[in-house]
Amino acid sequence: MSVARRTTTALLAGTIGVLSPLAIAVPGWAQTAADGYFATPPPVDPGKLIPDERKPDKSYKQSKGCVQRSLGENIVLKNRPWGQEYLQISKAQDIVKAATGGGAGKGVRVAVVDTGVTRHPWLPNLLPGGDYVAPTTKNQPPGLEDCDGHGTEVAGIIAGKPDNPEVGFVGVAPDATIVSYRQLSENYEPNTETAAPPPSSSTGGTPSSSTNPPSGSESSLPPSGGGGGSSEGDQTSPGQSNGGRQLEKAGTAGTLKTLAEIIRGIAERNEADIINMSVDNCRPATGSITEGEQQVQAAVHFAAEKGVVIIAAAGNATDTCPQNDQPDAKKPKTIVTPPWFADDVLSVGAIDETGGVAAFSVHGPWVGVAAPGTKIISLDPAEGSNGLANLTFESGDKASEIQGTSFAAPYVAGLAALVKAKFPNLDGRGIVNRIKETAQHPAAPGGRDNFVGFGVIDPVAALTATLPSEVGGMAPIPSQQMAQLPPANDRSSTPVIVALAGTGGGVVALLITLFVMHTIRRNRPAETGPARR
């Protein structure tokens, strides 16, 4: 088995976006409205759109060992993930293949802004996008190193393409191209020994000594045997309180500033059609907005106006990122960025295998749709692996299932790639609208709630439905239906007329006869009986 092993607190696969709560005060320059910004953020400030410098915003050094494989087991996962079956992914792929005459998602580029993506034989269409953490340590192109293991699993759900016919797992859009950007890592920390950031990742360059892992933190491992975890063993759910892929968490790499830079750069250079962000920032709602949030808001608006589809995980509730369960749904106590900017971002909540809302999925007025987010199977992110993983080790030897809104979002990103392939003339907002309108709407006013948004995605409907919004706001005109009636009787009607006339004559004759008989009986004199004696 090739279960991804996190040798430290490297990966809680599936929890995301926590800013150490209450520990960092909102800066004095943060903007505040009279009644505060809660359910709805303030208007976009174009002046906060910052350029993409294509490099980290500060110097980082590796502090923990990278993801490794679990040795001693070799179990090949052959079953299809429940989410893949629930969404009828195979049927959706067949629809696209039939319509395009090609693959499922071919020609569509999906940017994965995450912890990087490791090369994997079952992810053939992979391109480097950039590295905003540090130069890679093994001469890999920028963005193609995933020390945490999170981004590779996300990319696998979007475009994984196993070459083993016995393996049931497959990405939603296996022929799409992944463009990887390493934007954060919990295995790196700010390098306090030097104040200058490393050179731009676009230039390549020699890795600095600060990026080398600590002595003994990595092992030289042989290639894995094609497995990827077992459905057996310890099934304890991951401890969501660990925080997962967190932006601006103390002692880690990744800020809202570099996230904003990447989003703008992708749109400006036309490097992708879709952006998937399974990373975010969570903080207490104070009615204000920070500068980093404004920069991300301006960037996602810029990209959306350029026609890019922007998808983000809705966030996971943790001890440090409280669930929005307050009485007033319009005044959330937790703000999650980028999902907060729902005008330009399609945020994705998670459901579990029962079809219900996953307990960890953060609620909020920004939730757009929902997708499967538990019992995840995806590509094994360990370097040298050629199989799958469905378990992860967190800070020890206890295996836990991979789950989180991190892994619900790529299901939607993959669907967006299929929609883009089948409807190439749709812009980004049109693709998002099609996904929302065809979702399985909850029984709520307007067909939307704060738990699953407009509902669980329906890939088959998204690829086949005719939407009124796409035909000028009017319902489509139904095609003319020809009545299937028997052929007309063109034979002579004379026999029918004669028959009817004869019948009518007979009836008249009968009536006359009855009348005559009645008259005779009526006029006949009564007979005189014999006389009595």
Active site positions, annotated: 114, 150, 406
- Residue 111 pairs in a beta bridge with 179, 275
- Residue 112 pairs in a beta bridge with 180, 276
Say if residues 382 and 224 touch (Cβ distance below 8 Å). Answer: yes
Say if residues 247 and 283 touch (Cβ distance below 8 Å). Answer: no
Which secondary-structure segment (H or E) carries 468?
none
C-alpha separations of 510 from 496, 498, 503, 520 in Å: 21, 18, 11, 16
Which secondary-structure segment (H or E) carries 304?
helix 291-305
Look-up of token digits 């070799």: 74
Q: H helices within 313-443, ranges in order?
A: 405-422, 428-437
C-alpha separations of 166 from 2, 73, 499 in Å: 17, 19, 76
Q: Measure the CA–CA gap between 151 and 245, rounded to whole angstroms.
A: 10
What is the secondary structure of 257-278 as a DSSP string? HHHHHHHHHHHHHT--SEEEE-
Q: Measure the CA–CA gap between 284 and 359, rounded to whole angstroms.
A: 19
Please name which of 39, 161, 188, 33 lies closest in space to residue 105, comparing C-alpha atoms. 161
DSSP 8-state secondary structure symbol assigned to residue 110 = E
What are the backbone dihedrals phi and psi of residue 3, each rounded to the nearest 5 degrees, phi first?
Answer: -75, 135
C-alpha separations of 256 from 55, 57, 144, 403, 507 in Å: 14, 10, 21, 24, 99
